[in-house]
Structure 1
Amino acid sequence: MTPAKKWLVGVERPRHGGDVWGRGDIIDFSCSLNPLGPPSEIASFIMNNLDKVSRYPDDSCSLLKSELSTFIGVADDLITVGCGSTELIKAFADAFVEPGERVIVAHPTYSEYAFYCRLAGGVVEAVPLDEERGFALDVDGLFEHIDSDVKAVFLCNPNNPTSRLEPKKKVMEVVEECEARGTLVFVDEAFMDFLREGKRSSCVPEVENHRNLFVSRSLTKIFSMPGFRVGYGVGARELVGFIDKVRLSWGVGVLEQLVAAELLRKCGPYLEKTVSLVEQEKNYLYRRISETAGYMVFRPDANFLFISVRELGVDAATVRALLLGEGILVRECGSFGKEYSTFIRVGVKKRSLNEVLVEALKRISEKVQTSLAPAKPI
């Protein structure tokens, strides 16, 4: 007999990109981080503050909240901080989702929303995004699934893995309709800082006017420091208060808090350079990969591309394996759902590495087409 809770038997942890450990020298396109890498000056800052790890972290993250308040322009009592934005997804589910309550997610999207809502006992309903419409959010279709017994709706903007940015007006239409129906809305903006239109597309400024809105953001992606787990959320005081009750105590370490605060103070030029580079390179990858036989690339808004390999006649796992043979790791998207087993996701990097990816995809296209070609009669 298993000692675990009965419903936990058979549950699988979500799979993600960035699984480079033990793979040796590899180019990792499977995760979507800042192609500039971490700001160079941060190494000396870490060394100068190593002595502070002998202290417990500030559980309230007061210094970091103060810097975040300045950075995003909202009061610090509307902000909560977590061990990556994923901790805040769990905290949101723990705080608000009761066993048996319905939760709506778009599909495909980041798998942790459904995972943690199910762990909280929620019943998750996935509303498909239509491939023929470029995976755009169908607001009217979404509303057909929402009634008074839906506890929460999760939206990712720009969406992972589709790289699609929805207009703020459309997202706020969902927020306002859900508010009228007594439904919470969680908007994940983990990749918003990579977009030139990020500030005007963000729902962060709207949290004071909508009691049902909670917005999560990531610092580890934009600063290319996923080993330092720091995310933050913004919402009405009541929502933030409940999330703070259930989040992990001392979840954000001393160095993480200090480093994040330091980066926020000095990040202006770095972020501008990031936005320009990502804009240039995502367009380069979109154009070059689209020109290669066998790949259908959906126009990217974020710092990653969603690519169908269906026309190659093989699945994404095969393409991933072939790319691993070339020393390249990409995200195989079958874990988002079986219907996405012919999709890969690739992050944007600097031009020299992007060229390596493009040439590898070309070779794979030629190899696959040759192997699948019918034999000539003798």
Structure 2
Amino acid sequence: MLKENRKMAEDWIAPRVREIAPSGIRAFFDLTAGNNDIISLGVGEPDFATPEHVRAACVRALNRGETMYTPNAGLLELREEIAQYLGSSFGLQYHPADEIMVTVGSSEALDLALRAFTAPGDEIIIPSPSYIAYSPIAHLNGGTLVEVEATAEQGFKLTAEALRKAISPRSKLLVVNFPNNPTGAVMSYEDWLPIAEVVKEHNLLVLSDEIYAELTYDSTHVSIASLPGMQERTIVISGFSKAFAMTGWRVGYVCGNHELLAAMLKIHQYTAMCAPVLGQIAAIESLRSGLPDKDRMKACFRQRRTLFVEGLRTIGLHCHQPQGAFYAFPSIAHTGLKSEEFALRLLREAGVAAVPGHVFGSGGEGHIRCSYSTSTERLTEALERMEGFMKVRI
């Protein structure tokens, strides 16, 4: 009976859903669940609680009974704050009324964009390594993924030469994520200039995932949308999860040409309808009064980056210097182990959970991703365990 039920379920599940693999990050996270002896460097989530004044603002709103739906595009008050923030922080200018939409986290914004702009057979170009969600969402919408390797020798940056080689008559969308997950790479204005020229030459639409924009440590974040002629052909996605320590509130946003956003809004209004109202209220408070909190947390991440990356190098794991986000992406190629085998052995033999690089695309093999969004004490202990593992087991 069990086999029969399983066969029925397989028949009902859409082929494209059957074909995608479960999240490689979540798989390692699940292995650590309930085991306090394991130090998890796997999940990309700040270890800070949402600041108290943000939580207090939501408690007051809850006591006032503010528990209803908001407009599909989100509270206009929040969209106005986002517009002001993007203008003052990154030089991006958007009209709050029709060029900004609030979403259920940046993840929903990504899904909406790929659904709205991908037709079966369209090619979606993605630098590799990259965030694991791009590929399966593209696949679900019938798109064909084309990876462009961003190598460690080039600082894990996208180059115009590599992009040009990947373009075909079916190319439609370029997905970029800088600061990058998993490498921590960033792109400067000068880096973006030749990319922008190739994009315009081939009439590509750009989806720019900038969820880590605020966590740029040694320079100022530059959005590709800020380059001449790029804003009208770029969809910018961001949110409050990472820099504002609001992962569980599920508030993201997307900005772009009003006609493109109108297409995304069609899907949003039939699926999520609107982002949670209390999350939107929390986001308003964060933008109005929480910027010092953001800067304080960023300073902590910068200190942890220095500690952890130097520690990795000391124990024999070469590591590119991450310029943003909160991930280190050390090379394990010299060990002779594939990334999955290395990560599994590190977990079982040293009690340290890291994510194997291959889950981030073909360009990630030979590396592991370690999140330094945890305390210095835990990071120091993780390094000690990793050093013992390298000495004894490798």
Q: Give the TM-score range, shorter chain.
A: 0.7 to 0.9
Cα gap change, 1:137 to 1:90, in 2 (>3 Å):
same
Aligned residue among 119, 123, 137 for 2:144: 123
Q: Which moved more, 1:345-354 or 1:29-38?
A: 29-38
Find out whether 1:364 has 2:384 as its counterpart.
Answer: no
Distance in 2, matches of 1:257 and 1:164, equals 30
Q: 1:15 aligns with which of 17, 21, 24?
A: 24
Residues 145-195 of structure 1: CA deviation (Å, up to 9, x unaligned): 224531111111122212111213322432343223221011111111111
Selected match of 2:53 from 31, 37, 41: 41
225-234 or 165-174: bigger deviation = 165-174
Q: Deviation digits for residues 60-104 of structure 1, max 9, x if unmatched? A: 212321221121123313212211112111111111111111111
Summarize the alignment of residues 97-108 of structure 1 with structure 2, pairs less than 5 Å apart: 97-108=118-129
Matched, 1:336 2:348: no
Greater CA deviation, 10-19 or 59-68? 10-19
Answer whether contact 1:192 1:198 (CA < 8 A) is retained.
no
Name the CA distance, whole Å, in 1 between partners of 2:44 and 2:169: 36
For 1:142-153, what aligned pairs fall within 5 Å after superposition? 142-153=163-174
Aligned counterpart, 2:377 = 352
The corresponding residue for 2:41 is: 29
Q: Normalization by structure 2: what TM-score?
A: 0.84
Paired with 2:49 and 2:39, the residues of 1 have a C-alpha distance of 13
2:304 is aligned to 281
**Structure 2 match to 1:236:** 257
Equivalent residue number for residue 161 of structure 1: 182
Which of the numbers 244, 257, 265 marks the counterpart of 2:288?
265
Q: CA deviation at 1:53?
A: 6.4
Is the contact between residue 204 and residue 234 of structure 1 (CA under 8 Å) also seen in structure 2? no
SS of 2:34 mapped into structure 1: coil
> TM-score, normalized by length of structure 1?
0.87
Within 5 Å, give how 1:62-73 maps onto structure 2. 62-73=76-87
Count of aligned pairs between the two proteins: 368
CA contact (8 A) 2:130 2:182 kept: yes
Q: CA RMSD in A?
A: 2.6
- Cα distance, 1:199 vs. partner? 4.5
CA distance in 2, matches of 1:339, 1:205: 28
Aligned 8 A contact 2:320 2:330 in 1: yes
Give percent identity, aligned residues only.
21
How many angstroms apart in 1 are the aligned matches of 2:199 and 2:229? 16
1:219 maps to 240
Residues in 1 aligned to 2:362 and 2:164: alpha-carbon distance in whole angstroms: 25
More helix per residue: 1 or 2?
Answer: 2
Question: Could you report, residue by residue, the CA deviation over 1:284-312 in whole angstroms, capped at 9, with x for unpaired residues?
Answer: 2111110103x121111122100122333
1:299 paired with 2:283, answer no
SS at match of 1:194: coil
Q: 1:56 aligns with which of 57, 69, 72?
A: 69
Query: Does structure 2 retain, via aligned residues, the 8 Å contact 1:175–1:212?
Result: no
What is the alpha-carbon distance in structure 1 between the residues aligned to residue 337 and residue 217 of structure 2?
Answer: 36
> What SS does the aligned partner of 1:68 have?
helix
Counterpart amino acid of residue 11 in structure 1: I
Paired with 1:331 and 1:301, the residues of 2 have a C-alpha distance of 19
> CA separation in 2, counterparts of 1:100 and 1:234?
26
Which piece of structure 1 moves more, 24-33 or 226-235? 24-33
The residue identity in structure 2 corresponding to 1:23 is G
User: Deviation string for 1:250-295 (max 9, x for gaps)?
Assistant: 34111111111111111221122223222222122111110103x1
Q: CA deviation at 1:330?
A: 2.2
Greater displacement, 27-36 / 262-271: 27-36
Classify 1:198/1:121 alpha carbon distance in 2 versus 1 (closer, same or farther; 3 Å): farther
Where structure 1 has 5 or more consecutive residues not aligned to the other structure, the ranges are 370-378
Deviations 1:27-56 (A, max 9, x none): 432123335442233333333333546423
Does the 8 Å contact 2:214/2:221 carry over to 1? Answer: no
Q: Structure 1 residues 8, 68: closer, same or farther in 2, change over 3 A? A: same
Q: d(CA) in 2 for partners of 1:338 and 1:200?
A: 27
Structure 1 residues 58-207: aligned runs within 5 Å? 58-61=71-74, 62-73=76-87, 74=93, 75-76=95-96, 77-196=98-217, 199-206=220-227
The SS at the match of 1:32 is coil
Alpha-carbon distance change, 305 to 353 in structure 1, aligned in 2, over 3 angstroms: same
The aligned residue for residue 90 of structure 2 is none
Name whichever of 104-113 and 193-202 sits farther off: 193-202
CA contact (8 A) 2:232 2:257 kept: yes
Paired with 1:305 and 1:156, the residues of 2 have a C-alpha distance of 16
